[in-house]
Every structure is written in structure tokens, then in C-alpha cells.
């Protein structure tokens, strides 16, 4: 008797609570870490990941630069401050709005477009296209990966360079405990100086090479208590080195290098990162197209350096 009234009560409650739970889950799923750019910047604005590398390439480019998946301008703003001409594309309206605000406060009005990296179409052709901070792994399908690389190649000047980083999915990443809340990073809030903690709860689809993250950002108050928690979700696609080579071939790049870090060391360890540089035509041809520009010299020097170790360099002989 108790059991059946419990069941009835349970059923009745389920009818009310389940739809509520579903709608909460739905809302959470729709929220990505890029929907609240101000919050994103609280955690990531000061991050210097890859900054020197991209700045160095940008200084050497000798022509217009496209920051693809530019976010709130972590890389673009220092490039603009260095007097370089940089346009930006990002999928998130919130990230672009914040970038526009920050750029304008510094007296810059960069040309920004809201578009997917897999399908953007601009008039301009660039000496350098960069995709910093693992943004490329947001391409979840082979179509989108090849779409992004092909759009990049089409938007490069002859001899122009595409450069991007994508984390390497080594054992430590793909066998990490699932559904376990892990503290990824803790920073101090730029305004209050109080701690801000980012937790990531991951799960994996190892067949589709997808990594799902529940991201929770906790604001800590002056008593050390959690004042608020902001939850969002994101999905990324694991990419391996030989898969990257295939993608480069399929996207029609003339030559590429796949490296283990921003220092262009060989990718030999599964704990390495993955940094890719690709030219839409052999960089040796830059002289013919652009004259002996600083960018031509720099790109040739990099390409010649890459030629030293053939295992890291691919060429499209089609």
C-alpha cells in the first residue's frame, strides 16, 4: 500500500519534475562557453597561450591577417597594437561584440564578421590566417574540417600561410576519468581579485572522436564560499597527426608542417601539442608573387627549416 501510494506520488511528481529537468538540460545544452563573452574573459583574457608564436607570425606576414575564430581578441588586440592589419571572423555574436568594445576602447575598428569557419566567404585575400587556441577542434565533422581548411586556402594570398594549434589527444586525455568534475584552472577575478574556478566534467565518444565538456565556472566570495555557478557545454573533436595530414591533402594545400609545439619541434610524444602550418602554394614561390618581402623571406626560411626533417613536412604532389 505504502509502496503503491509512493509509486503514484512518484509518477505524479515525475510528470511535473521531468519536463522541468528536461527544459533545464535543454537550456544548459544550448549554452556554450562563448555565449557569455564577459564571463569567458574573466577566465581567459590574460591567458598567453601561443601569443608570442602568433604575434611573431603576424609581424612577419607583411600583409593583411585574418584571425579566424578570433574570440574576444586575445591575439588580435596585441596584433592591432603592434600596428598590424587584422580582420576577424567568429561564430559567436557575444564574443564579437565584446571584441568590438575592447578594440574601440583602444581606438581600433577592426573588420569583424559573424560566420562559421567552415563556410566563411570574404572578398579579401590574406598573407596569414591564424586559428589560435584550439578553435579548429570545434569542427565536429570531416566536412567542417575540410570546409574550414579549404576556405582558409581560398582566402590566402599566393604563398600565404595558415597557422593553427589543436591539442594532441594522447592517452592522458582520452583515458581520463569520465563524468568526474576536475578543476581545470583558477584565476583571480580581474575586478574583485576574488578566486574564479573553472571545472570541467568530460565524457567521450571514442568512436566519433568527440569530447563533451560540462563547464562550470564558480565565483568565490570573500568568505571562500561559492557565490554563483555558471554552467555551459561544449564539444570538440580529437584529431591525430596522420589524420591531419589527410585533411591537409584533401583541402589542397601545397605544403604543410605538423609540429609538436609553438617552438616547431617535431611531434614525437603523445604529450606534445599539435601546431600546423600550411601554405596554399609552395612558399618557394612567394618570391615570384610578392617580391622579396620580409614575409616571403620569413616564410621561405621556415619552409626550408621544415625541409630538414621530412617526417614533419607534407607536400601535395597531386
Least gap, CB of 88 to ligand SAM (angstroms): 9
Nearest one of 178, 175, 174, 198 to 186, comparing CA atoms: 198
Q: Which of 78, 85, 125, 134 touches ligand SAM (CB under 6 A)?
A: 134
C-alpha cell belonging to residue 222 = 570573500
Q: Is 199 in the site for ligand SAM (CB under 6 A)?
A: no
Q: Is 302 in the site for ligand SAM (CB under 6 A)?
A: no
134/209 with CB nearer ligand SAM: 134
**Do 76 and 67 meet the contact criterion of CB atoms below 8 Å apart?**
yes
Q: Is 133 in the site for ligand SAM (CB under 6 A)?
A: yes
Q: Which of 60, 66, 75, 247 touches ligand SAM (CB under 6 A)?
A: 75
**Do 272 and 163 meet the contact criterion of CB atoms below 8 Å apart?**
no
Cβ-based burial of 103 (10 A; exposed 0-12, middle 13-18, buried ≥19):
buried
Nearest one of 145, 202, 200 to 179, comparing CA atoms: 202
> Interacting stretch for ligand SAM, rule CB under 6 A, among 19-27, 132-140, 223-231, 309-317?
132-140
53/279 with CB nearer ligand SAM: 53
**Do 58 and 65 meet the contact criterion of CB atoms below 8 Å apart?**
yes
> Interacting stretch for ligand SAM, rule CB under 6 A, among 89-97, 170-178, 217-225, 259-267?
89-97
Q: Where are the alpha helices (DSSP H) in the chain?
A: 2-30, 37-44, 51-61, 76-81, 93-105, 142-154, 171-174, 241-250, 286-290, 294-307
Each residue 20-59 as x (binds ligand SAM by CB under 6 A) or -, in order, gives --------------x-------------------------
φ, ψ of residue 233 in degrees (nearest 5): -130, 150
15/121 with CB nearer ligand SAM: 121
139/290 with CB nearer ligand SAM: 139
Instruction: Please give the Cα distance from 106 to 66 (Å, whole number).
Output: 19
> Interacting stretch for ligand SAM, rule CB under 6 A, among 84-92, 177-185, 236-244, 286-294?
84-92
Q: Is 116 in the site for ligand SAM (CB under 6 A)?
A: yes
Q: Is 278 in the site for ligand SAM (CB under 6 A)?
A: no
145/290 with CB nearer ligand SAM: 145
Q: Is 98 in the site for ligand SAM (CB under 6 A)?
A: no
For cell 577566465, name the residue.
Answer: 43
Contacts of 259 (CB under 8 A, 6+ apart): 265, 266, 267, 274, 275, 276, 277, 312
Q: Which of 65, 127, 135, 219 touches ligand SAM (CB under 6 A)?
A: 135
Q: Is 297 in the site for ligand SAM (CB under 6 A)?
A: no
Q: Is 71 in the site for ligand SAM (CB under 6 A)?
A: yes
Contacts of 251 (CB under 8 A, 6+ apart): 146, 149, 150, 152, 153
Q: Is 69 in the site for ligand SAM (CB under 6 A)?
A: yes
Interface residues with ligand SAM (CB under 6 A) are 34, 69-71, 74-75, 90-92, 95, 116-118, 132-135, 138
Amino acid at each position: 500500500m505504502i509502496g503503491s501510494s509512493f509509486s503514484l506520488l512518484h509518477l505524479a511528481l515525475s510528470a511535473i519534475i521531468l519536463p522541468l529537468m528536461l527544459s533545464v538540460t535543454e537550456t544548459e545544452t544550448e549554452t556554450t562557453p562563448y555565449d557569455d563573452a564577459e564571463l569567458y574573459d574573466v577566465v581567459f583574457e590574460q591567458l598567453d597561450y601561443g601569443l608570442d608564436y602568433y604575434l611573431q607570425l603576424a609581424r612577419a606576414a607583411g600583409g593583411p591577417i585574418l584571425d579566424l575564430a578570433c574570440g574576444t581578441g586575445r591575439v588580435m588586440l596585441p596584433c592591432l597594437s603592434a600596428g598590424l592589419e587584422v580582420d576577424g571572423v567568429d561564430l559567436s555574436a557575444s564574443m564579437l561584440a565584446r571584441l568590438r568594445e575592447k578594440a574601440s576602447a583602444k581606438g581600433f575598428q577592426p573588420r569583424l564578421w559573424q560566420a562559421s569557419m567552415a563556410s566563411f566567404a570574404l572578398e579579401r585575400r590574406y598573407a596569414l590566417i591564424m586559428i589560435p587556441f584550439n578553435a579548429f577542434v570545434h569542427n565536429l565533422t570531416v566536412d567542417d574540417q575540410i570546409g574550414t581548411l579549404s576556405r582558409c586556402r581560398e582566402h590566402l594570398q599566393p604563398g600565404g600561410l595558415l597557422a593553427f594549434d589543436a591539442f594532441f589527444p594522447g592517452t592522458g586525455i582520452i583515458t581520463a576519468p569520465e563524468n568526474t568534475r576536475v578543476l581545470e584552472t583558477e584565476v583571480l577575478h580581474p575586478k574583485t581579485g576574488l578566486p574564479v574556478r573553472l571545472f570541467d566534467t568530460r565524457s567521450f565518444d571514442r568512436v566519433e572522436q568527440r569530447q563533451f565538456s560540462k563547464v562550470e565556472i564558480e565565483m568565490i566570495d570573500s568568505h571562500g564560499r561559492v557565490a554563483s555557478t555558471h554552467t555551459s557545454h561544449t564539444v570538440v573533436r580529437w584529431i591525430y597527426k596522420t589524420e591531419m595530414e589527410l585533411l591537409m591533402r584533401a583541402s589542397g594545400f601545397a605544403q604543410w608542417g605538423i609540429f609538436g609545439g609553438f617552438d616547431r619541434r617535431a611531434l614525437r610524444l603523445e604529450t606534445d601539442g599539435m601546431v600546423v602550418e600550411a601554405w596554399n602554394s609552395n612558399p618557394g614561390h612567394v618570391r615570384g608573387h610578392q617580391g622579396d618581402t620580409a614575409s616571403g623571406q620569413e616564410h621561405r626560411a621556415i619552409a626550408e627549416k621544415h625541409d630538414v626533417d621530412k617526417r614533419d613536412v607534407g607536400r601535395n604532389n597531386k
